[in-house]
Amino acid sequence: MVEHVSRTPVIIDVVIIGGGPAGLSAATELKRLGIDQVVVLERENQAGGIPRHCGHPPFGMREFTRVMTGPRYARKLVKAAELAGVDIRISTTVVEARPGGSLLIATDQGAQEITARRVVYATGVRETPRSARLISGTRPPGVLSTGSLQSMVYLNKHKPFDRPVIIGSELVSFSSIQTCRHAGISPVAMVEETGSAIARWPTPLYARVTGVPLFTDTRLSAIKGHDNIVAVVVENAQGERREIACDGVILTGRFTPESSLSSCGHLLVDVATGGPVVDQFGRCSDPVYFAAGNVLRPVETAGWSWNEGRQAAHRVSQDLLGKLPSSATERRITLANSLIKYCMPQVLSFPHHRLSMKYLQLRFTRHATGILSMSDDTGTLWKRAMTVFPERRVLVPLRRVVDGCQTGSIQAKFEERSP
Amino acid sequence: MLLFDHAINFDGGGCLANILTNEVFDLVVIGAGVVGCAVARRLTLAGARVAVIEKATDILDGASKANSAILHTGFDAPENSLEVTCIREGYREYKALYRQLGLTLDFSGAHVVAWTQDEVEKLENIAEKARNNDVEDVNIISAKTIAKREVELSDSALGALSVPGECLIDPWSAPYVYLRQSLENGGKIFLYCEVTSGNFDGESWKLDTTRGSIASRYVVNCAGLYGDRVDQRLLGSTTFNIAPRKGQFVVFDKAAGRLANSIILPVPTSRTKGVVVCRTVFGNLLVGPTAEDQQSRSDASTDEASLRALIASGVEKIPALKNIPVTAVYAGLRPACEHQDYQIEKHADRNWITVGAIRSTGLSGALGIATHVLALYEQSAPGHTTLDEPVHPQAAVLAQNEVRDWQREHHGDIVCHCELVSEREINRALEGPLAARSLAGLKRQTRVTMGRCQGFYCRARLETMCSGKFDLFNGKEAGCG
């Protein structure tokens, strides 16, 4: 690879990888905090991230205190960054992130190497494709993620199918119904593997209102058809199978961080979140690198990611001044049982600092009632009785854990109790 | 459906134009799989006027679309078989020409790993077989040595046979450039063109196809999974019966590429070579294939249970695979038959050569098979004049260790971020006589959507770029209604 690389000797203050809500808000805030050079590298030919092709509201409540569609929201974020003096470089792909903040990038000019004092990962999330779900059957075209469907419908005005089956019942799954309706597509069913819809009430009502039957305790077992999809085979909890005639499949949700730069690079990756391992400052295992937004964990709203980006900016700017606690004091948080899907941050640095994340973010693999506790070798640091649901965030006050922690590793544990 | 329609005129390329009835070819190759492409190349370079006819809209659409992408030495092929002869020759020729055609070659080497004491004892037999097959540089290594060479390999490996000559190649760029070398030196390709019947008048063949008739003095049947049926249909009999064997594969994320240096082979059984764990030249790690006998010649479906078993088998051999996501799954159909060797046969009285039952080693054997076919052909056909200065087209560079298009200037945007496929590469693949006419064809030519997101980010953009070239969703070609 080396021979075609041109090097720019300039060291940039902060490079942000990804121009979605988290990346743009981090960049905008960094400029406001007086950082001189702030560069956003966006691999698409337009910045704005996923909201660019979410053609429906609600976006922008937290950021602009008004409800708007995704594309409009994305434009506003880009404009704010530009006004603040952020250097947004579109059609620029980061190919490799190397130790110490050196980045191999690809543009129309070929390969190039740039170096930054700090790098912020804000590469977002994507949905799990068919292959990784190991779905049986033939592989006809017409199996799409919500993301691809939305970009086709909203950016290209294309209608890929007429009567798809929707797999999953997360928030994004209902958003796919909205996208379908926009394009005149009539989903024939929504299929959910667990016992109830994943998205919070009242969202699931949207399926009923729009006449899309929701089948819970039902899993997709195979896709049928050669040149086109003709049906899906679904299986209920009793193992009974039946076919649903359809001409497309929308595989929704099961988000996973777009963290290939870290998984193929030098940063530690957390198997549980799929994103880089970070401390409570969003700092990665190479302390030049920070992460913000959905690359930290699947998946929060654009507004949540935007806020994380803004906070990351404060931490990065303080770190440039040498004012964050050293990452050398880190302690790992372990998960005691598989009911806890993940806990982010995965490590904690000491002592507490005012710019720390306020909460540990946890999610759970299934519905359960019991007591969630955080402990170290000396005893319980925090605990609370609660009912948890799959794919719903639980927040644990981080300062309680950091301040109480004395020795050893930190353990997150969920003890189930009958309600 | 499209049958005998003289009004069809596809845009661009002209390869889908109607067959000119007044043209008489020296040789028609039926089937543009890896073998057909190699045969077309060899015969064109030998001076014959060659046409390839292929029933699909893109080449490599049958058995050749899915394999383990290994260039075999032939160390474990049946001794004294035509198969081992062709693999040895194919291996030698690939190494001789890959630079000339801009192809990739990764000298990974392979290890046949023994996991039980029984298997340890079999290693010597495999080594002996290898030497009988003229693969001399094999040697048995200890558990300690294999552990040192493959640090991520499970420590339950008891020893291994090292086969340093086994290599990794790009399974699609190679046949594409073989066929392009035929085309750029005067060969022709007719796609979407299925042979329906034919007549031999003692001197030449008139083949009826779904796109009109084509005249040729000689015919080489490289119809892969349908080889026996083509023989049956045109010769009236066949000496073999294809028994498709399905092989499913799991491709792990590129994060796994660093978990193996060489190709990790199991000790084979009488029926199958077993499940291989190996890198790909694109940087992934693949595990497969299964070996499932089936009736269907087109059903390459995957099933969750088999895929899970493959993943478990991979994790057992390389424990660190446990935490690596799956990027892709696929299945291929191998044209096996009741015989334990290739079925290459000349019907001299009918000006016909059958190249049948090229089971799992077609990619490695293709160039050798082509040389063999040329020898058979020249025994009965008058001598052509070998091309003096043939054109050497350059293969698409997709392997991760080569200088790819994104590293060069003016490639446009990168469209597929996971596989770093540029706008220019996609546009190139949509042009010319072998222009992609399906998403599957475009994937094989460029790797677009073959990465970890499987099209999440680029599918819409791609659809715009391919608009009018083919229909991504219905498999229907533009313009033929």
Count residue pairs from A and B with Cβ separation < 8 A: 134
Residue identified by tokens 């530690």 is A268
A28 and A133 Cβ atoms separated by less than 8 Å: no
| Closest chain B residue to A141, measured at CA | B473
pLDDT (0 to 100) of residue B79: 95
Q: Which residue of B has its CA nearest to A271?
A: B323
Nearest CA in chain B to A155: B460
- Dihedral sign for Cα B82, B85, B86, B87, please: positive
- Are B474 and A263 an interchain contact pair (Cβ–Cβ within 8 Å)? no
Could you tell me which residues come within 8 angstroms of residue B171 by beta carbon, excluding any fewer than 6 positions away?
A: B34, B64, B67, B69, B363
Q: CA-CA distance, B45 to A401, in Å (whole number)? A: 74
Question: Roughly what angle, to the nearest 10 degrees, separates helices B362-380 and B34-45?
Answer: 40
Instruction: Please name every residue paired with A323 in a beta bridge, in sequence order, or none if there are none.
Output: none
Here the tokens at position B448 are 């677009």
**In this structure, are residues A358 and A397 in contact, taking their beta carbons and an 8 Å threshold?**
yes
Best probe of the A interface among B311, B413, B442, by most A CBs < 10 A, is B413
Contact B151, B173 (CB under 8 A): no
Contacts of B430 (CB under 8 A, 6+ apart): B436, B442, B465, B466, B469
CA distance A389 to chain B (A): 24
Cβ of A152 and B327 within 8 Å?
Answer: no
Q: Tell me the nearest-neighbour CA distance from B412 into chain A, angstroms.
A: 5
Cβ–Cβ below 8 Å for A263 and B253: yes
Residues in B closer than 8 angstroms to A222, CB to CB, are 301, 303
Contact between A226 and B298 using a beta-carbon 8 Å cutoff: yes
pLDDT for A353-391, tens place per residue? 999 999 999 999 999 999 999 999 889 999 999 999 987
Beta pairing partners, B52: B29, B189
Is B103 near chain A, with CB under 8 Å? no
Residues 6+ apart with CB under 8 A from B27: B43, B48, B49, B50, B51, B216, B217, B218, B219, B220, B377
Q: How far is A95 from chain B (nearest CA, A)?
A: 8
**In this structure, what are the phi and psi dihedrals at residue B454, rounded to the nearest 5 degrees?**
55, 35
For residues B361 and A319, give the distance between their C-alpha atoms in angstroms, rounded to a whole number.
57
Contact B454 A53 (CB under 8 A): no
Give the per-residue pLDDT at A25.
Answer: 98
Most A-contacting residue of B251, B303, B401, B452 (CB-CB within 10 A), to test interface:
B452
Q: How are beta strands A248-251 and A110-121 bridged, if at all?
A: unpaired
**Mean pLDDT, residues A6-17:** 82
Q: How many angstroms separate the CA of residue B441 from the nearest CA in chain A? A: 13
CA distance A248 to chain B (A): 9
Ordered DSSP codes for B336-378: EESSSS-EEEEEGGGTEEEEE---TTHHHHHHHHHHHHHHHHH
A298-356 pLDDT, tens digit each: 999 999 999 999 999 999 999 999 999 988 778 999 999 999 999 999 999 988 999 99
User: Which segments within A207-260 are labelled E, that is strand?
Assistant: 214-215, 218-224, 231-236, 241-245, 248-251, 255-257
Q: Dig out the tokens for A194 from the structure.
A: 């667990």
Interface contact B460-A156, CB threshold 8 A: yes
Contact A142 B326 (CB under 8 A): no
Q: Which of A408, A322, A335, A324 has its CA nearest to residue A372?
A: A335
pLDDT at B13: 39
Query: Which chain A positions have a beta carbon within 8 Å of B304's beta carbon?
Result: 134-136, 221
Q: Which residues of A touch B452 (CB under 8 A)?
A: 129, 260
Compute CA distances B103 → A98, B356, B401, B431, B434, whole Å.
29, 26, 12, 20, 18
DSSP type of residue A152: I
Angstroms from B395 CA to nearest CA on chain A: 18
Cβ distance of B413 and A156 shorter than 8 Å: no
Strand partners, A244: A232
Q: Cβ of A222 and B303 within 8 Å? A: yes
Q: Which of A108, A140, A148 lies closest to B412 in CB terms?
A: A108
Query: What average pLDDT does range A199-205 have in this prediction?
Result: 91
Contact A106 B406 (CB under 8 A): yes
B24-B26-B28 Cα angle (round to 5) = 90
Using CA atoms, how far apart are residues A9 and A22, in angstroms rounded to an integer?
28
- State the Cα–Cα distance between residues A251 and A144, nearest whole angstrom: 6
Residue B416: strand, helix, or coil: strand
Q: At what angle do helices B362-380 and B173-184 cross, to 10 degrees?
A: 30
| CB pair distance less than 8 Å for B456 and A93 | no
Would you call B254 an interface residue with chain A, using a CB distance cutoff of 8 Å?
Answer: yes
Residue type at A350? Answer: F
E strands present in B135-209: 139-142, 159-163, 167-168, 188-190, 195-200, 205-209
User: From the CA of A212, how many Å to the nearest CA of chain B?
Assistant: 23
Both tokens of A389, joined, read 């649901």
Q: What are phi and psi of B280, to 5 degrees?
A: -115, 160
Q: Which amino acid is at B423?
A: E
Closest CA to B367 of B107, B127, B100: B100
Q: Which residues in chain B are closer than 8 Å to A141, comparing Cβ atoms?
A: 439, 472-475
Interface of B with A in 303-362 (CB under 8 A): 303-304, 307-308, 323, 325-330
Q: ipTM score of the complex? A: 0.94
Report yes or no: B403 at the A interface, CB cutoff 8 Å: yes
Would you give per-residue pLDDT tens digits along chain B (481 residues)?
Answer: 232 333 333 333 344 556 665 789 999 999 999 999 999 999 999 999 999 999 999 999 999 999 899 999 999 999 999 999 999 999 999 999 999 999 999 999 999 999 999 999 999 999 999 999 999 999 999 999 999 999 999 999 999 999 999 999 999 999 999 999 999 999 999 999 999 999 999 999 999 999 999 999 999 999 999 999 999 999 999 999 999 999 999 999 999 999 999 999 999 987 778 899 999 999 999 999 999 999 999 999 999 999 999 999 999 999 999 999 999 999 999 999 999 999 999 999 999 999 999 998 999 999 999 999 999 999 988 789 999 999 999 999 999 999 999 999 999 999 999 999 999 999 999 999 999 999 999 999 999 999 999 999 999 999 899 988 885 334 433 322 2
Which residue bears the tokens 């040729």?
Answer: B216
Chain B residues in contact with A269 (beta carbon < 8 A): 255
Partners of B299 on chain A (C-beta within 8 Å) are 138
* Separation CA A63–CA A66 (nearest Å): 8
Q: For chain A, say whether B2 makes contact (Cβ under 8 Å).
A: no
Residue type, A100: G
Q: Give the residue from B418, B457, B471 with the most A CB atoms within 10 Å of its CB, the best one to mutate.
A: B457
Name the closest residue on chain A to residue B298, using Cα atoms: A226
Q: How confident is the model at residue A184 (pLDDT cuts 50, 70, 90)?
A: very high
For residue B311 the two structure tokens come to 């993943």
The answer to which of A81-85, A131-135, B20-24, B267-271 has the lowest mean pLDDT is B20-24
CA B294 to chain A, closest CA, distance in angstroms equals 15
Which are the contacts of B202, defined by CB distance < 8 A and separation ≥ 6?
Answer: none
Q: How many other CB atoms sit within 10 Å of the CB of residue A276?
A: 29
pLDDT at A4: 55
Least CB–CB distance from B452: residue in A141, A148, A260: A260
State the Cα angle at B135 between B134 and B138, rounded to 5°.
145
| Nearest chain B CA: its distance from A228 CA (Å) | 6
* Helix-, strand-, coil-residue percentages of chain B, each rounded to 5: 30, 25, 45
The first and second tokens of residue B106, run together, are 């990764």
Residue with tokens 């020296």: B26
Query: Of B367, B287, B339, which Cα lies nearest the Cα of B71?
Result: B367
Pairing of strands A331-335, A410-416: parallel
* pLDDT tens figures, B298-307: 999 999 999 9
The answer to whether A131 contacts B329, with C-beta atoms less than 8 Å apart, is yes
- Sign of the CA dihedral running A359, A365, A367, A373: negative
Residues in chain A within 8 Å Cβ distance of B448? none
Q: Contact B463/A256, CB-based, under 8 Å?
A: no
Rounded to the nearest integer, the mean pLDDT of chain A is: 93
Residue of A nearest to B301 (CA): A138
Give the three-state DSSP class for B258. helix
Phi first, then psi: what are they for B332, rounded to 5°? Answer: -125, 160
Rounded to a whole number of angstroms, the distance between the first and last alpha carbons of chain B is 9
Structure tokens of A228? 């086109």
Count how many Cα atoms sit within 13 Å of the Cα of residue A385 in the half-sphere of its side chain.
3
Give the pLDDT score at B480. Answer: 27
Torsional sign, CA A40, A42, A48, A49: negative
Distance CA A308, CA A296 (A): 10
